[in-house]
Amino acid sequence: MRAGDGAATLRMHQQEEETDMRITWLGHSAVHLELAGKSIAIDPFWTGNPKFPQGYEERVQRIDAIVVTHGHDDHFGDTVRLAKKYGATVIGQWEICMEAANAGVEKIQPMNTGGCIEVEGVRYAMVPAFHSSATLRDGGLFTRGDPAGFVILGEGRSVYHAGDTCLFSDMALVHRLYRPQIGFLPVGDRFTMGPEQAAIACNEFLHLDLVVPIHWGTFDLLHGDPHEFARQVTRGRVHIATPGESFTA
Ligand SMILES: [Zn+2]
């Protein structure tokens, strides 16, 4: 296979007619994406998330898929509860999916880094992230696999959710392989990249049209300032969202 064939295939995918998608940031890393007729919850930290918009869940009629980037509770969050309530498919690393299945979730799509799957007309690619992924249980550490990011593709749109990560130059491969137009990048610092690193990701590697800073402001520990991030981004538009505000892109 020639170098570049993969990118050509993905560009073909992007030649599909583009339709608008609806995006709602729910605070922290939680995103509600309505794309290609599907309702997708990413990192559903809904209960206990101090920035989660009050009353939002009552307005959600449907969730078809739940995408989990890694196993920390501020990301795994309400995965099991929401998957059961809405009959949603859990998409994540094998360990995450097994835990969900053991807890009674019926529909799972386990995968791992480098893989790309199609579920009900939407494609999900798991890409690297540098972080950790265990949780505390019974006084010890319990593994939930490794951290990841996701690219979600449907109807000509490509959306990158970086999960929790530092800056890494292989974000250039995420751009080369999947050409994301929209990105959700952590900027809160301490546990992830801060504003300066996230701006380098945009300016040098990802080439996004629109980027939404996430993983900031939830707790005092996350001191990274999204406005500083916006000041340093020279490539693509930054939208500093308000939790619960829906917008199309
Ligand atoms: Zn986190």
Statement: residue 142 has pLDDT above 90: no
Q: How far is the CA of 104 from the centre of ligand 1 (A)?
A: 25
pLDDT score recorded for residue 16: 63
* 104 confidence band (pLDDT: 50, 70, 90): very high
**Residue 170, SS3?**
coil
Alpha carbon of 164 to ligand 1 centroid (Å)? 6
Question: How many domains does the structure of the chain reveal?
Answer: 1
Angle at 110 between CA 3 and CA 68, to 5 degrees: 95
pLDDT beyond 50 at 173 = yes
CA of 2 to the centre of ligand 1 (A): 38
Find all residues with CB under 8 Å of 234, minimum gap 6, and list them: 199, 203
Q: Is the pLDDT of residue 7 over 90?
A: no
As a whole number of angstroms, the distance between CA 183 and CA 175 comes to 11
pLDDT in tens, 51-93: 999 999 999 999 999 999 999 999 999 999 999 999 999 999 9
CATH of the domain at 42: 3.60.15.10
Q: Is the pLDDT of residue 10 over 80?
A: no
> What average pLDDT does the structure give for the chain?
93
In angstroms, what CA-CA distances link 181 with 161, 197, 200, 249? 11, 19, 16, 9
Q: Across residues 115-130, what is the average pLDDT?
A: 98
Burial label, 1 (beta-carbon count in 10 A; 0-12, 13-18, 19+): exposed
pLDDT, tens digit (0-9, with 9 covering 90-100), for 190-228:
999 999 999 999 999 999 999 999 999 999 999 999 999
What pLDDT score does 5 carry? 46
Domain with 176 in it: 5-248
For ligand 1, the distance from its centroid to the CA atom of residue 62, given in whole angstroms, is 25
User: Ligand 1 centre and the CA of 150: distance in Å?
Assistant: 15
pLDDT of residue 20: 85
